[in-house]
Amino acid sequence: MKNLGAALDKVLEEALDAALAALREKATSIVVGTLERSLEVRLKALLDGGGSAPTPEAPARVKAKAAKAVGVTPKEEEEANPPVKVRRRKKEDTPKPEEDLAAILEAAKVALAKFGGVTTPRGKPLPEVLHRRLKKTLEHAKALGKSDLRLLAQRAMAIIDIDPMAAAMGSWQALAARLGLPVPLSQA
């Protein structure tokens, strides 16, 4: 029994040695292939551009390990190589809500002109009635503190485009309710 166990241990050792040798060869071939490609890229860059090829920036973790190996602390490294400050863009001037609402209503008036020549059953021009409904709805949204008036106007215009006569015959509260805005119960 002891001979069998010793023979199995010897076979396992030889198998492990062979596997390790095969892994070494495979790892070597992978590293050699990677280095060949890297060398090829650098040579092409040198021949084409006359300068050095751009090398990828090492991750912070690798830099920290290298700094430890050299004996440089991260603070010393930061003092030697200060971080580059990125310039921030100026914030765009956002229009005031009053100007924004006026611009939205002017654009809506132009868009509602396509209903020109059509009147409501009471004889009023359809574009004017729809403009009043939209204006009142957006003013209500602004009073509620909504800042996305442009989006609300687009959604309202989509509702109006589907059935302009129903939007004109209904109240502004009905349009506001279809947009999901809260309407006081006394007005609903």
Asked whether residue 148 falls in the same domain as residue 171, the answer is yes
Report which residue type is found at 80. A
Asked whether residue 77 falls in the same domain as residue 102, the answer is no
Q: Which two tokens stand for residue 61?
A: 């973790």
Q: Residues 146-158: pLDDT tens digits? A: 888 999 999 999 9
Asked whether residue 125 falls in the same domain as residue 144, the answer is yes
Asked whether residue 61 falls in the same domain as residue 42, the answer is no
The answer to whether residues 52 and 45 touch, using CB atoms and an 8 Å cutoff, is yes
What is the pLDDT at residue 158? 94
Exposed, middle or buried: residue 140 (CB in 10 Å: 0-12, 13-18, 19+)? buried
Residue 146, in any domain of the structure: yes
pLDDT exceeds 60 at position 10: yes
What is the pLDDT at residue 156? 94
Asked whether residue 68 falls in the same domain as residue 134, the answer is no
Average pLDDT value for the chain: 81
Verdict on whether the full-model pTM lies above 0.75: no
CA atoms of 185 and 119, how far apart (whole Å): 30
Asked whether residue 47 falls in the same domain as residue 61, the answer is no
Residue 133, in any domain of the structure: yes
Residue 76 sits in which domain range?
57-82
How many domains in the chain? 3
